């Protein structure tokens, strides 16, 4: 087993810890928190023996092989850089960084150190991705794709009441594109590569972030539209329209509810939705372990992940530029 520590104590970290432990490959040995009291409570909750309130001491710990980072987006770059420079493998929640040059730098540090630096994005690690890809090969020429992730934020009511939760705070490099749109960008680039051009539209929140948006990616003889929002709940699904049928996906982030709608109007169910969140994240933990322990056998797959992370970062930075969505860190870039 490999030993891991965590940075961040939200619900997403709970699920990753559960998934990593459930894989039988990882042991949680340490947590980092800026608050000693909160850190000790979190360590007790998950059975970690070490608590750190100093990130450099955490990074220097000999009891940690790898770190899962799930802090606010604005801290990803500095925290991942410190951890990599101290010899820790890192898996960091999406999106890695607001600026693509920072992703390149972190990837370069990891390569020089002989470390794995991975973006925690479920799409690349779920086994049902093969189900989707096989289905797409059966629908003829694909001409139109709609990828949707519109999910009403659990913090929306607090925001509408006048509070400023982290997810609506531009200082923390958030917003609908960064939080939810990334789940649509990943499959678009993974399946169809870089588009020839991008058309962007979005609406803003009073805090200055995008509350939702629509991207149209233009390819030769194909349009891929991405819709995402934190202000309301989608009732539609994602679909891939081909000359011989349509592949429907009820949840693009979970790759759940995959079905093939044949041109004769018959419907073939290919994959359901039975996995819990921790199980979905467990696939990330399993691949992270494999990339660390089987570097030669997994190198091609890992390099594809890192290449996609950079492509996604570049596209999202391009989109933010078109939409004039600015973060404080953009001014210092």
The whole-number pLDDT of residue 302 equals: 98
In this prediction, residue 236 carries a pLDDT of 81
Closest CA to 90 of 32, 11, 167, 22: 32
Ordered structural domains, the chain, with CATH? 2-120+280-297 (3.40.50.720), 127-274 (3.30.360.10)
Tell which residue, 174, 172, 170, 182, has the closest CA to residue 153.
Answer: 174
Mean pLDDT of 93-112: 98
**Helix H or strand E segment including 241:** strand 238-242
pLDDT in tens, 16-35: 999 999 999 999 999 999 99
**pLDDT reading at 332 higher than 80:** no
Using one digit for the tens of pLDDT, what is the confidence trace for 111-121? Answer: 999 999 999 99
Digit-coded pLDDT (tens) for 41-77: 999 999 999 999 999 999 999 999 999 999 999 999 9
pTM: 0.96
**Contact residues for 9 (Cβ-Cβ < 8 A; gap 6+):** 31, 33, 38, 39, 42
Residues whose CB falls within 8 Å of the CB of residue 218, separated by 6 or more in sequence, listed in order: 195, 196, 197, 198, 199
Secondary element (H or E) of residue 202: strand 197-204
Structural tokens at position 94: 């999406």
**Whole-number mean pLDDT of the chain?**
96
pLDDT digits (tens, 9 = 90+) for 206-236: 888 999 999 999 999 999 999 999 999 998 8
For residue range 131-181, list pLDDT tens digits in order.
999 999 999 999 999 999 999 999 999 999 999 999 899 999 999 999 999
Instruction: Report pLDDT for 206.
Output: 87
Sheet holding 89-93, edge to edge: 50-52, 26-32, 2-7, 66-69, 89-93, 117-120
Instruction: Average the pLDDT over 299-313 and give the result.
Output: 98
How much is the pLDDT for 275? 85
In this predicted structure, what is the pLDDT of residue 316? 98
Q: pLDDT exceeding 90 applies to what percent of the chain?
A: 95
CA angle 300, 314, 205 (to 5 degrees): 130
């Amino acid at each position: 087993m490999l030993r891991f520590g965590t940075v961040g104590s939200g619900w997403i970290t709970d699920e990753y810890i559960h998934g990593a432990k459930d894989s039988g490959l990882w042991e949680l040995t340490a947590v980092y928190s800026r608050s000693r009291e909160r850190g000790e409570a979190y360590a007790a909750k998950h059975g970690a023996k070490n608590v750190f309130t100093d990130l450099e001491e955490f990074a220097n710990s000999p009891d940690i092989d790898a770190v899962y980072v799930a802090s606010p987006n604005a801290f990803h770059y500095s925290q991942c850089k410190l951890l990599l420079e101290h010899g820790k493998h890192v898996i960091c929640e999406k999106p890695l960084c607001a600026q693509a040059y920072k992703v390149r730098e972190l990837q370069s540090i990891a390569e020089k150190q002989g470390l794995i630096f991975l973006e925690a994005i479920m799409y690349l690690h779920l086994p049902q991705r093969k189900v989707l890809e096989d289905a797409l090969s059966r629908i003829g020429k694909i001409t139109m794709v709609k990828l949707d992730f519109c999910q009403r934020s659990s913090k929306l009511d607090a925001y509408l009441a006048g509070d400023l939760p982290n997810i609506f705070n531009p200082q923390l490099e958030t917003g609908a594109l960064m939080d939810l749109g990334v789940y649509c960008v990943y499959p678009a680039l993974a399946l169809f590569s870089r588009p020839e051009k991008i058309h962007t539209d979005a609406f803003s929140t009073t805090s200055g972030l995008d509350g939702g948006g629509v991207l149209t990616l233009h390819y030769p003889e194909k349009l891929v539209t991405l819709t995402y929002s934190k202000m309301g709940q989608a009732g539609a699904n994602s679909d891939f329209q081909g000359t011989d049928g349509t592949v429907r996906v009820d949840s693009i982030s979970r790759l759940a509810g995959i079905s093939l709608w044949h041109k004769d109007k018959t419907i073939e169910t290919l994959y359901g939705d039975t996995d819990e969140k921790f199980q979905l994240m467990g696939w990330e933990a399993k691949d992270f372990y494999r990339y660390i322990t089987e570097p030669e056998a997994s190198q091609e797959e890992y390099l594809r992940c890192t290449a996609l992370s950079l492509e996604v970062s570049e596209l999202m930075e391009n989109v933010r530029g078109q939409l004039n969505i600015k973060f404080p860190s953009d001014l210092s870039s």
